[in-house]
Structure 1
Amino acid sequence: MTMPPLTLYLAAPRGFCAGVDRAIKIVEMAIQKWGAPVYVRHEIVHNKFVVDGLREKGAVFVEELEDCPDDRPVIFSAHGVPKSVPAEASRRQMVYVDATCPLVSKVHIEAQRHADAGLQMIMIGHKGHPETIGTMGQLPNGEVLLVETVEDVATVAVRDPAQLAYVTQTTLSVDDTKDIVAALHDRFPAIIGPHKEDICYATTNRQHAVKSVAPKSDALLVVGAPNSSNSRRLVEVGAKAGCKYAQLVQRATNIDWRALEGIRSVAITAGASAPELLVNEVIDAFRSRYDVTVEVVETAVEDIEFKVPRVLRQPA
């Protein structure tokens, strides 16, 4: 039987970023060094496939530090944690490794620097996201105010409009953040922003790649988890860029084939915490149904690598 032709536009860069790669290595190296079990506070990254794989190797995922025993190592997720968490781990004399992405740590340092200068912080982010909780937890209650939308900017109650700075969650959409930043500057002309954009290089690169493939594709599939902020933003970016059907899929088994009937081209990308193995799984699923031509569309080359903490590079 002749299969219908289909062009797959494979966006690049896609998938794992340097921070996610480092976080996964930290868990694997901790298990190698100290043996199982090693406890991890929250999902190390937002991807069920990755988390399940680490669980099989000996990682135990918990929600809070109180769920960990004192005598086993604990790892803090790539999204970052409030200052109270390592402080409590130290009080309990626990061995802990911080897998916070260095780009998130940069935002934490910025927030502390502004606070030391007497400025109140405004954070652009999503309420309840682990990264937002971690960043807001770098400073005392009330010192970081959260805004999620342009509308929030109009109602946020600040201590002194002349003594403000802002930071952003690293995984947001560049376009959405731009509008909120503009609203902040309109309402608070003296507000101070970061020296360099907080949204991370990987988020920006993946969004640019999607913008290049979405307009010429009948559909866009983003491989990623539903609780992955950067993956959900890729779906939104693709839709805004002109792709009429943009969907998030965790695995090839989640593809809605009925919705794709009659298509001639599909763009595929992956969020920063989705492994390439799952992208290949999706490509293979299309090959089983279509006569596939794969075209890689590369908009940037990434060569960034973050070192794992020194404690993991030292012998046990």
Structure 2
Amino acid sequence: MRVVLAQPRGFCAGVVRAIDIVEKSIEKFGAPVYVRHEIVHNRTVVSGLEAKGAHFVDELDQIPDGAVTIFSAHGVSRAVVEAARGRGLPVLDATCPLVSKVHSQSRHYVEQGRTLILIGHAGHPEVEGTLGQVDAPVRLISTPADVESLDLPRDTPVAYVTQTTLSVDETREVIASLKARFDDLVGPNLSDICYATQFRQQAVRKLCESVDVLLVVGAANSSNSNRLREIGVEFGLPSYLIADAHSLDLDWVRDKATVGLTAGASAPETVVLEVIEALRQVADVEVTQMDGVEENISFRLPPELRHPDDQLVGAEA
């Protein structure tokens, strides 16, 4: 069996930064630290951080007074920020800088007096955070059909922003529908969609041209991982999203000569290696890596974690 690894795959810079924030917070301030929601959408990552002393909670009221508090990579609403400030919780914000950029764009468009449209998936933590970033109604859409159902006059000044982890192709179609629907439309360049999302999707499209089956390592609630599997389906390939090696049904690959393997942006490389070992149960495995983008992007940590003497204090109400 030949196993071809997509390049790039796995952790992006935003995920690396978020995990580093949790680990370095534990090192500097001691366990436990409290994280609102999963730091990233991956159970392996979350379990590993729990073992080191991180406690993951759904809401701020589950965090003890004075405890180090971390916001997840997906971002939070302004109401959550204000609630933490009101309690004086010492906060480290692990929001991905690319998500923070969407928040800033959203506020800018609303300040211009435009009706804001968010292209994204209802219920996703990133979407919930972005919806709560502006003091105005936001129209959430996800498909071209949703554009047609918007109850806005054609000449309404509107602006759009996007969930960072969406499909580039699907977002392009929705934006095209918005341009056809409204006369006064502004929005960020399509390249503002997360670089990691774009690169991983491009790599999987290339991968699908030369394999018999596609395996995507990632969580079921990971938007970008689900999209990678969907690309394989579009190519007519048997395509499976697996959380880890234990989720792999060897019958999926038993008679396949070439297996394509990739990982979503929050899936660790250790799990990819475990999947390869599981594949060795059915065949001799030759592993190759396709040519692709070499990512060298990194994001800075909060200053309290960059400078040894800086202390994290609760924000004043």
Q: Deviations over 1:157-215 (max 9, x none)?
A: 23774310000000011111111111111111321010453310000000000000112
User: Which of 12, 15, 21 is equivalent to 2:10?
Assistant: 15
Confirm whether residue 117 of structure 1 aligns to residue 112 of structure 2. Answer: yes
Q: CA deviation at 1:253?
A: 1.2
CA distance in 1, matches of 2:89, 2:289: 46
TM-score normalised per structure 1: 0.95
Contact 2:254–2:282 at 8 Å: present in 1 too?
no
Confirm whether residue 165 of structure 1 aligns to residue 159 of structure 2. Answer: yes
Q: 1:138 to 1:161 in 2, by over 3 A?
A: farther
Q: Deviations over 1:227-267 (max 9, x none)?
A: 11100011011222x24201100111111122323211110
CA distance in 2, matches of 1:160, 1:89: 40
CA distance in 1, matches of 2:116, 2:42: 30
1:301 corresponding residue in structure 2: 294
1:35 corresponding residue in structure 2: 30
CA distance in 2, matches of 1:87, 1:158: 32
CA distance in 2, matches of 1:16, 1:139: 30
Secondary structure at the aligned position of 2:209 is classed as: helix
Q: Give the root-mean-square deviation of aligned CA atoms.
A: 1.3
Q: CA deviation at 1:271?
A: 0.3
5 Å-filtered alignment, 1:145-156, equals 145-156=139-150
Contact 1:121–1:145 at 8 Å: present in 2 too?
yes
Amino acid at match of 2:181: R
Confirm whether residue 71 of structure 1 aligns to residue 66 of structure 2. Answer: yes
Amino acid at match of 2:200: R
1:90 corresponding residue in structure 2: 85
CA distance in 1, matches of 2:296, 2:18: 17
User: Which of 278, 281, 305 is equivalent to 1:285?
Assistant: 278
User: Which of 22, 44, 48 is equivalent to 2:43?
Assistant: 48
CA distance in 2, matches of 1:155, 1:63: 33
Amino acid at match of 1:165: A
Contact 1:7–1:264 at 8 Å: present in 2 too?
yes
1:206 corresponding residue in structure 2: 200
2:176 corresponding residue in structure 1: 182
1:140 corresponding residue in structure 2: 135
Q: CA deviation at 1:288?
A: 3.0
Contact 1:12–1:300 at 8 Å: present in 2 too?
yes
Secondary structure at the aligned position of 2:185 is classed as: coil
Unaligned runs of 5+ in 1: 1-5
Amino acid at match of 1:101: C
2:99 corresponding residue in structure 1: 104
Secondary structure at the aligned position of 2:9 is classed as: coil
Confirm whether residue 226 of structure 1 aligns to residue 228 of structure 2. Answer: no
Amino acid at match of 1:271: G
Secondary structure at the aligned position of 1:8 is classed as: strand
Q: CA deviation at 1:140?
A: 2.3
Contact 1:13–1:209 at 8 Å: present in 2 too?
yes
Contact 1:173–1:237 at 8 Å: present in 2 too?
no
CA distance in 1, matches of 2:289, 2:20: 28
CA distance in 2, matches of 1:197, 1:116: 23
Q: Deviations over 1:15-50 (max 9, x none)?
A: 000000000000011111111110000000000000
Contact 1:217–1:243 at 8 Å: present in 2 too?
no
Confirm whether residue 253 of structure 1 aligns to residue 238 of structure 2. Answer: no
CA distance in 2, matches of 1:259, 1:212: 21
CA distance in 1, matches of 2:129, 2:231: 26
Identity of aligned residues (%): 50
Structure 1 runs of 4+ with >4 Å offset: none
Secondary structure at the aligned position of 1:114 is classed as: helix
Confirm whether residue 238 of structure 1 aligns to residue 232 of structure 2. Answer: yes
CA distance in 2, matches of 1:160, 1:110: 22
CA distance in 1, matches of 2:154, 2:56: 41
Contact 2:9–2:264 at 8 Å: present in 1 too?
yes
Question: How many residues of Structure 1 are paired with residues of Structure 2 in the alignment?
Answer: 309
